[in-house]
Homo-oligomer: A and B are copies of this chain.
């Protein structure tokens, strides 16, 4: 075939092609809105121009130590300015950001530092005890270690141990603010490596690329929408899925992040009130904190506040409760493998006519694909045949498109399994409703099979949440001689409230078929991940 005239003398060149990278947004934001605050952290505040300077200094200091393309830089820190600027500065060195969950045990930290082939570790002194133990077992003894000494840490004591050769401020002071960024040669280059908590087996390292991070950033700004100069409260841990890519997205629209080191009701209401927060994202458990805050903790507000909630299917009772306080909530869904939320329960024009409780049920659905997500379906895990839109037939949620990870780091088998058939298999089981909205029924491994019937643990949990005394609830399968498995409930009660096993089971019977009701109820504090997910594998150990 002859070459078309549309493909002749019309090649990519530097005037019309550049690799997509979220660094573009920092450069522009610092040029266009230099004095707009990028982060507010108590008395510390940095404008976008200052974030560019500090991120460039970090990149420069890393480069001076020989760190560059495809080198892993790990960081263990909560939501503080250093963590925010690391999302830009490490990429600007051409290196790969590896944020480590601050709640991990020493053995897992050591595993991640080894498996990720980390060359640098930036670590907040609060976590020195666990990190020190991890370092003692590390194969790599050439790791460059830099301490962050955060004087605003409410839990800081003057004798917090330092583990590294220098502290963060001293380190970046060795860099130059005129250092030329190492932009990606290819937008497919890695920008981050995030280990998923993984309830079984070793954590897997999710590799994300510059292209996806760019598209998520602009996609979020368009979809939420952020508007211009949003005031964003950073309640999502930045170590979790790069803070859902919100930091990169805020650089698209000159937004500000209020950083909170310790997420609790007092700190959140104070941030909302002091800074007129307009947007935040969090797990449903954090919404629950806002709902159940004491009157002294709560502060009134009279402007629109838009929340994204994700991380676990939100009980409709929590959605109804948080909206009653005046927050506007959109339920979103995604995974670290998809750069965060790529499915949203997009509001429909007709929904304003639906009454509160019924609407909360609808808004608890995971929803439809994001504008920058090319494909979403609920399908048979093996045949990839989509389920009918009947709201009943269960299949696995599959996602495809430009905001899906490169794959798992140094784990070809896991990558091949996850991408089998040309779709990313999420491991979440769901139905598709007639309107195309998907709703999660369970994790693949959390489904309860009783007498041959599938029982969704999420469905039971939703009912438990409607009980006035229930603060948190988790349901898992209990082996049963007769039925194979039966549901077993674990419940954390609200302060000052009481309930008995019989009352809870009776409550369930009013709303669920008999075979779906828990046969056993345990009371007590529930084990949770740092992002508010209930750790069902811990519950399973108890049954």
Contacts and interface: CB of A to CB of B under 8 A. Distances in A.
Interface of A: 4-18, 20, 24-25, 28, 31-33, 36, 69-70, 96, 117, 188-190, 193, 207, 212, 215, 218-219, 221-223, 225-229, 252-253, 346-349, 368-369, 371-374, 400-402, 404-407, 409-410, 412, 415, 418-419, 422-424, 436
A347 to B, nearest CB: 7
B6 A207 contact: yes
A402 B17 contact: yes
Given A218-B222, A372-B218, A207 B32 contact: no
Given A7-B70, A12-B188, A16-B404, 5 more contacts: A6-B189, A13-B419, A24-B374, A32-B436, A221-B371
Max chain B C-beta neighbours (<10 A), residue from A11, A218, A253, A346 = A218
A419 B222 contact: no
Contact of A371 (B190, B218, B373, B374): B218
Secondary structure at the A interface, as helix, strand, loop or mixed, is: loop
A117 B212 CA distance: 37
A417 to B, nearest CB: 11
Given A368-B31, A371-B28, A405-B16, A228 B400 contact: no
A4 B252 contact: no
A6 B13 CA distance: 26
A369 B32 contact: yes
Given A16-B402, A412-B9, A226 B225 contact: yes
A69 B410 contact: no
B207 A225 contact: no
Nearest to A400: B15
A166 B221 CA distance: 44
Contacts of A189: 6
A522 to B, nearest CB: 40
| Copy count, this protein chain | 2
A222 B17 CA distance: 21
Contacts of A215: 218
Contacts of A253: 222-223, 225, 371
Given A10-B415, A218-B372, A18 B402 contact: yes
Nearest to A18: B374
A427 to B, nearest CB: 14
Given A207-B10, A368-B32, A409-B6, A229 B349 contact: yes
Contacts of A406: 6, 10-11, 16
A117 B14 CA distance: 28
A326 to B, nearest CB: 20
In the A-B complex, list the 9 residue pairs whose CB atoms are closest, starting with the nearest: A4-B70, A221-B222, A16-B404, A14-B422, A10-B406, A222-B222, A15-B419, A6-B190, A9-B412
A97 to B, nearest CB: 12
B222 A226 contact: yes
Contacts of A25: 371
Contacts of A402: 16-18, 20
B5 A117 contact: yes
B226 A400 contact: no
Nearest to A398: B15
6 contacts: A14-B400, A15-B422, A16-B212, A32-B346, A33-B346, A223-B252
A228 B418 CA distance: 33
Contacts of A10: 190, 207, 406-407, 409, 415
A419 B227 contact: no
A96 B7 CA distance: 12
A174 B117 CA distance: 59
Contacts of A20: 402
Max chain B C-beta neighbours (<10 A), residue from A6, A17, A25, A188 = A6
Contacts of A412: 9
Contact of A227 (B225, B229, B436): B225
Nearest to A193: B6
A193 B371 CA distance: 26
A423 B14 CA distance: 7
